């Protein structure tokens, strides 16, 4: 297949998957019409509409040459697919248009992204990476600059890995951070500045891998930035984490650091012991953070991980999806990630659950709200088969004060369990759970912790069970979709 000669939007229209004809297609999560979806990009609001882009390889369900697809929404819940808008065209991006973000100013949308060249033409092996820019005045047509805005790094200090720009404005200057890798194969974050969003000057290394749990990887991808409660929050995706002391057991993570940037000296002052994760589940990566004009900080991520490519959906020529949109808030020097209010638009019929009559209810896609005392044990089995040999088990153990999540007897999955030790401060425990056809998103104590996971049970596995040794003070459930 000569990809460069194909009308990619025509290909997508002709090969789009009919959701009711294949297994595991979601009801209310963003998926690609066909092929692979991974990093969300360019999350912004422009001329009254929300915009979201994502990386995709539409031709097959694997990581090939990447394009940017565009979505628009009025309410962050119902998204319209608008086709491919960024595709490989110039010499510096011929092997793919990688991740980046959007910056909106003066009625223009600036899309910053990374152009990729494979090494000696060998697929997926990074040879050169350039930072690129496309500009739009209407949100539909994007005019690319014909040359990169930032060239190759100094190879005496860095490897070719330099990607995923994130841009913001501070006082009268624009700043950009980019994920980098030093020649000792340790990660770093580079800082650049600009007066006009086109010509960029290298300020230096803002953050490197000298200290901390987050330094155990080999690359920080998809860096992000937000100003929250007066603090400069840096979001990083450490790749190649060790398993020792690794609470998620994920080698590729999404975390954040809280500190302050000294722009003049190019120094990020932070407590390297205070590295926290945005998610403690199985599949959550490359979060895209967008701050609205009203100060609300929104987050959407890829519900997948690098090198996790053997899902059962591949046989139907699609793989992966995006998470639900969430809001980030700061409490006690920690970010809470909770579902946005707009998700209530998904609610359908109320599902009555009376545990004095039955512990079970049938539903494939639903939202579940629970509140219970900290001395109350709770066990929840989600999307079970009728004989209970395949399910996802969520529990709270009051003795150890832990939340646990287990995927039981589901093929094509990696590690089978996750456990979180909760703080002792709260008298009540809260669970907020969203179940779709092939995913579960769990929010604990109003977003203090979150666990995101894909599930691949049979379409007939719609049995759900709740058991407890105490009284629940809140139990509500709605059909979704």
Alpha-carbon distances, residue 124 vs 98, 159, 304, 450 (angstroms) = 12, 15, 18, 32
Element (H, E) at 76: none
Q: Domain with 266 in it: what CATH number?
A: 2.115.10.20
In the chain, how many domains are there? 2
Same domain, 302 and 422: no
Q: Which of 285, 318, 339 is the last residue of a domain?
A: 339
User: For residues 295 and 229, what is the distance between their CA atoms, to the nearest angstrom?
Assistant: 10
The domain in which residue 141 lies consists of: 3-339
Which of 317, 339, 361 is the last residue before a domain boundary?
339
Please identify which of the residues 23, 39, 427, 461 carries the catalytic annotation: 39
Residues 289, 430, single domain; the answer is no
Give the max Cα distance, the chain: 70
Q: Which of 316, 339, 362 is the last residue of a domain?
A: 339
Does 363 lie in the same domain as 263? no
Distance of CA 253 to the CA centre of its chain: 10
Verify that 113 and 219 share a domain, yes or no.
Answer: yes
pTM of the model: 0.96
325 contacts 441 by C-beta, under 8 angstroms: no
* 39 annotated active-site: yes
Q: What is the pLDDT of residue 2?
A: 46
Judge if 393 and 466 occupy the same domain.
Answer: yes
Do 156 and 105 share a structural domain?
yes
C-alpha–C-alpha distance, residues 153 and 25, integer Å: 41
Output the six-digit token pair for 258: 């809280």
Q: CA–CA separation, 442 vs 432, rounded Å?
A: 6
Please give the torsion angle defined by the CA atoms of residues 445, 450, 453 and 459, in that order, rounded to the nearest 10 degrees. Answer: 30
For residue 261, the model assigns a pLDDT of: 98
- In the chain, % of residues over pLDDT 70: 96
- Beta 276-277 vs 267-270: how paired, if at all? unpaired
SS3 state at 398: coil
pLDDT for residue 282 is more than 90: yes
Check whether residue 207 and residue 83 sit in a common domain. yes
29 and 96, same domain (yes or no): yes
Structure token pair of residue 426? 């709260």
Q: What is the pLDDT of residues 62-83, one digit of tens each?
A: 999 999 999 999 999 999 999 9
pLDDT in tens, 194-249: 999 999 999 999 999 887 878 888 999 999 999 999 999 999 999 998 766 556 67
- pLDDT tens string 120-145: 766 678 889 999 999 999 999 999 99
Q: What's the mean pLDDT in 174-198?
A: 97
Q: What is the CATH number of the domain that holds 447?
A: 2.60.120.560
Query: Per residue in 281-294, is it b (16+ CB within 10 Å) or e — as a string?
Result: bbbbbbbbbbbeee
- CA–CA distance, 343 with 461 (Å, rounded to integer): 24
- Of all residues in the chain, what percent carry a pLDDT higher than 90? 82
pLDDT at position 471 is 84
DSSP E strand stretches across 303-401: 318-319, 326-331, 334-339, 347-350, 360-362, 366-373, 378-384, 391-397
Does residue 287 share a domain with residue 373? no
Residue 344, in any domain of the structure: no
């Amino acid at each position: 297949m000569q990809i460069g000669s194909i009308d990619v939007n025509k290909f997508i229209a002709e090969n789009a998957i009919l959701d009711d004809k294949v297994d595991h297609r979601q009801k209310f999560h963003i998926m690609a019409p066909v092929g692979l979806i991974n990093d969300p990009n360019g999350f912004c609001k422009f001329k009254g509409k929300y915009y979201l882009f994502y990386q995709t390889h539409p031709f097959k369900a694997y990581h090939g040459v990447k394009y940017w697809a565009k979505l628009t929404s009025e309410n962050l819940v119902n998204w319209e697919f608008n086709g491919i808008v960024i595709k490989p065209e110039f010499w510096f991006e011929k092997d793919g248009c990688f991740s980046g973000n959007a910056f909106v100013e003066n009625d223009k949308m600036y899309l910053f992204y990374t152009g990729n060249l494979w090494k000696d033409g060998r697929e997926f092996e990074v040879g050169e990476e350039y930072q690129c820019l496309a500009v739009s005045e209407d949100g539909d047509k994007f005019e690319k600059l014909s040359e990169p805005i930032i060239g190759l790094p100094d190879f005496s200090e860095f490897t070719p890995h330099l990607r995923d720009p994130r841009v913001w404005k501070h006082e009268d200057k624009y700043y950009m951070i980019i994920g980098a890798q030093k020649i000792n194969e340790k990660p770093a974050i580079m800082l650049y500045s600009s007066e006009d969003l086109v010509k960029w000057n290298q300020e230096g290394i803002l953050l490197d891998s000298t200290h901390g749990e987050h330094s155990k990887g080999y690359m920080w991808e998809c860096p992000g930035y937000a100003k929250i409660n007066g603090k400069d929050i840096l979001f990083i995706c450490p790749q190649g984490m060790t398993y020792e002391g690794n609470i998620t057991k994920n080698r590729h993570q999404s975390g954040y650091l809280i500190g302050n940037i000294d722009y003049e000296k190019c120094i990020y002052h932070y407590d390297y012991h205070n590295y926290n994760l945005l998610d403690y589940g199985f599949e959550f990566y490359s979060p895209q953070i967008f701050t609205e004009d009203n100060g609300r900080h929104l987050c959407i991520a890829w519900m997948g991980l690098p090198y996790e490519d053997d899902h059962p959906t591949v046989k139907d020529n699609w793989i992966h999806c995006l998470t639900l949109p969430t809001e980030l808030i700061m409490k006690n020097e920690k970010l809470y990630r909770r579902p946005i209010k707009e998700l209530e638009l998904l609610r359908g019929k109320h599902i009555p659950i009376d545990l004095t009559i039955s512990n079970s209810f049938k539903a494939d896609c639903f939202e579940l709200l629970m509140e219970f005392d900290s001395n109350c044990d709770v066990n929840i089995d989600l999307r079970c088969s009728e004989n209970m040999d395949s399910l996802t088990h969520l529990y709270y153990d009051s003795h150890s004060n832990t939340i646990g999540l287990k995927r039981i007897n589901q093929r094509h999955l990696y590690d089978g369990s996750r456990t979180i030790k909760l703080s002792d401060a709260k008298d009540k425990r809260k669970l907020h759970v969203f179940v779709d056809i092939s995913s579960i998103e769990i929010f604990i104590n109003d977003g203090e912790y979150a666990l995101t996971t894909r599930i691949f049970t049979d379409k007939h596995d719609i049995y759900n069970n709740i058991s407890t040794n105490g009284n629940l003070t809140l139990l509500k459930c709605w059909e979704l979709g």
